[in-house]
Amino acid sequence: MESLKGQFLVASPHLLDPNFIRTVVLMIHHTEDGAFGVVLNRPAENTVRELWEKVGVGHCESEERIHVGGPVPGPLMAVHADSGAAELEIAPGLYFAVQRENLERLVSQNAHPFRLFVGHAGWAAGQLEKELEQGAWLTTPATVELVFGDPFALWKRMARQIARAFWEDVLRQFPVPKDPAWN
């Protein structure tokens, strides 16, 4: 089994689970025992500053929205670009944190891109693999740019990128002749 850590799961247009319709999930952990990630394109109404006033100790200026990371409850989590606050490297230049001191560092310094998530997406052993076999998800490598880009355009952008890559691959296998009469 090849790990999907550091990959995007892009919901197929045929995936009708209301928790995952038109979502892009950043995979944080994936082993034979199960997997988890966070939905990148479900921003909540509350801002980081509003949440931090309720739970934080320090100061926060961020007007970024909190994100609903998925239907599974859990601790507040961050995906970020600060190696000094990293508890796990997800992909080159992309990190994960859940410990309070690391979250406080990210929020108070506001020096590196970050996203805070409430909840996450989780799969039991073998569950994600079955969903992939059924065509519920498409996969592509995650990039820092896309993780911190516009969440509202992310699914459409990723779906187009995957479709373009698919057709480019197909056309490479069956080259179109320069002269249509050669068909």
- 7-173: which CATH number, 3.40.1740.10, 3.40.190.10, 3.30.565.10, 3.20.20.210? 3.40.1740.10
**Torsion-angle region of 173 (φ positive above 0: left; ψ -120 to 50: alpha; else: beta):** alpha
C-alpha distances in angstroms, 81 versus 30, 112, 170?
20, 6, 35
Tokens (6 digits) for 34: 């199960």
Asked whether 35 and 6 are in contact (CB, 8 A), the reply is: no
Other C-beta atoms lying within 10 Å of the C-beta of residue 51: 19
The one-character DSSP state at 182 is G
Return d(Cα 71, Cα 115) in angstroms, integer: 17
How far is 141 from 47, CA to CA, in rounded Å? Answer: 28
One digit per residue, pLDDT tens: the chain, 183 residues?
Answer: 799 999 999 999 999 999 999 999 999 999 999 999 999 999 999 999 998 888 766 778 889 999 999 999 999 999 999 999 999 999 999 999 999 999 999 998 888 999 999 999 999 999 999 999 999 999 999 999 999 999 999 999 998 888 776 666 656 666 666 676 765
Q: Which amino acid is at 148?
A: F
Edge-to-edge strands of the sheet including 88-91? 43-47, 65-68, 114-118, 77-80, 94-97, 88-91
> How many CA atoms within 13 Å lie on the side-chain side of 141?
7
Report if pTM > 0.85: yes
